[in-house]
Amino acid sequence: MSQEFSTGQDLTFLRQSIDLARAAREHGAHPFGALIVDAEGNVLVTARNNAIPPKGDPTQHAERLACSLAGRRYHPAKLATCTLYTSTEPCAMCAGAIYWTGLGRVVYALSQESLHKLTGSPEQNPTLDLPCREVFARGQRPTIVEGPFIEDEAAEVHKDFWTR
């Protein structure tokens, strides 16, 4: 079930993350995209999934790549005030990367539950049933999580991808 947006910019940045997911799909990778935005609304980094099956590095998820880029470029104090926007709820690995990067907020479009309904249980995308909120709840610092939002739009990029 979708919630109301916290800021007027959330919708714009979520749609950008979906566009990145579409670009990943067009590149032959799984359709996921993410971007990190600072408190002033400036896009700091963008990333698309680069886990190209079957030969690609399976840890090349969009969120993890965005965190890796941002962690090398920006001070932790700045990152704590940033938001990661992502086309799909972060998996457990990506939630860990978000936490260790120190991002203060995550906003996602498609929930893991909705993604699983689209993917089924393919060998190329075995999911962990571990919502990102549960991962962050175990941390020693807070991470605000908001979503899902615009799930129908986010689901479009997955249509026919997992069943081809």
In the chain the first and final C-alpha atoms are separated, in Å, by 28
63 catalytic residue (yes or no): yes
Question: What is the residue-wise DSSP string for 14-61?
Answer: HHHHHHHHHHHHHTTS-S-EEEEE-TTS-EEEEEE----TTTS-TT--
3-state percent breakdown (helix, strand, coil) of the chain, nearest 5: 40, 15, 45
User: Cβ-count burial of 40 within 10 angstroms (0-12 exposed, 13-18 middle, 19+ buried)?
Assistant: exposed
**Residue of 4, 26, 40, 63 marked active site:** 63
Helix or strand holding residue 108 (H, E): strand 105-110
Query: Are the CB atoms for 43 and 54 separated by under 8 Å?
Result: no
Catalytic residues: 63
